[in-house]
Amino acid sequence: MGDSLPVDPPLWLPARPPGPGAASWYAASDLRFFLVAIRTLVLQVAHPMVGAAVGQHSVYKTDPYGRLWRTATSVIRQVFGGYRTAEEGQRLLAMHREITGVDDQGRRYSARNPAAYVWVHATLFDAWRLFLRDYARGLSPAGEEQLFDEWRRIGLLIGCEDRLLPGSIAEYDEYFAQMLTTLEDNEVVQDLLHNAPKAPPLVPQWLFDLLNAPLLRWQRSFVAETVPPELAGRFGLPRDARTARHARLLGGFSKLLGLVPGLVRRNGFASWAMWRTSRDPRITPEPLRYP
């Protein structure tokens, strides 16, 4: 960040970025949030357009760690970037402009489709709320309203169309439930659920697959227990006493980790971004500081 900053926010921005005390900052910076990350990715790529675009254009199979780094960097810019969030939104929209094609069912898709773009953003509010409510300290009605407001403001900043963003939590829940009925099983969904990524250099793939097998089983259990039963069935994920036990254990383990000081639990890159943005005199703290 430069030494001098303008006092007034840019007039052209459609919303105020989250500031200190943001519920979204708390959720997205906590390392425990990775517990729900695979579920979020599965919901995103189960959208027909998103799944086709990822399957045909993404390098997540050939360069998984580079792809993960770029995704994490983008999310940090979106959530913790302050007035730089809008710049990241413009970059994303420009990057996705050329990602078009036809899926294996003959349907045309575009990564710039406004509804698909909103869906990817919508999964973040669902993930943050799930994490804070069931795997962290809990989420009060006021905290949930604050989280939704921050999520909506970030959506406007990154270029989501206002008319497509739900205007309230009730509208969001109705939208999300309807969208779940449109999600499809596809190769990318199954790949995320069942296959380890490409092994790092010098590590045999068979050994990496063996080491990842237990984690993948727990991830499948978590997804099965935290999505509606009909969606779990669509993805071929059984729900039984074992998956329920795994989900309960993960929840208990996550809350136990909550006893660890926040500075230790926090993603270092997120901490740096929050500190950087908090120094901007244009950034105002959230009315209700979370937690």
- 103 inside domain: yes
State the pLDDT confidence band at 59, using cuts at 50, 70 and 90. Answer: confident
In the numeric block, the tokens 């999310």 are attached to 75
* Residue 8: predicted pLDDT: 53
Encoded tokens for 66: 């580079």
Share of the chain above pLDDT 90, in %: 78
Contact 271, 29 (CB under 8 A): yes
Reply yes or no: is the peptide bond before residue 291 cis, omega within 30 of 0: yes
What's the burial of 136, exposed, middle or buried (CB within 10 Å: 0-12/13-18/19+)?
A: buried
- 211 inside domain: yes
Q: Span 16-43, mean pLDDT?
A: 94
- 286 inside domain: no
Give the DSSP H/E element, type plus range, for residue 188.
Answer: helix 187-194
Encoded tokens for 200: 């790092």
How far apart CA 217 and CA 243 sit, in angstroms, is 9
How far apart CA 189 and CA 45 sit, in angstroms, is 6
* Residue pLDDT, tens place only, 203-257: 999 999 999 999 999 999 999 999 999 999 999 999 999 999 988 898 899 989 9
Number of domains in the chain: 1
- 148 inside domain: yes
State the pLDDT confidence band at 15, using cuts at 50, 70 and 90. Answer: very high
Write out the residue range of the structural domain in which residue 75 sits.
23-259
* Residue 4: predicted pLDDT: 44
- 273 inside domain: no
* Residue 11: predicted pLDDT: 53
* Residue 112: predicted pLDDT: 87
- 274 inside domain: no
- 13 inside domain: no
Contact 49, 118 (CB under 8 A): no
- 276 inside domain: no
Write the CB contacts of 273 (distance below 8 Å, at least 6 apart in sequence).
Answer: 76, 77, 80, 81
How far apart CA 260 and CA 270 sit, in angstroms, is 17
Rounded to the nearest 10°, the torsion over CA 253, 254, 259, 262 is 150
* Residue 139: predicted pLDDT: 92
* Residue pLDDT, tens place only, 146-201: 999 999 999 999 999 999 999 999 999 999 999 999 999 999 999 999 999 999 99
Q: Span 70-95, mean pLDDT?
A: 93
State the pLDDT confidence band at 21, using cuts at 50, 70 and 90. Answer: very high
Q: Span 35-42, mean pLDDT?
A: 92
pTM of this prediction? 0.92
* Residue 5: predicted pLDDT: 45
Contact 152, 165 (CB under 8 A): yes
State the pLDDT confidence band at 67, using cuts at 50, 70 and 90. Answer: confident
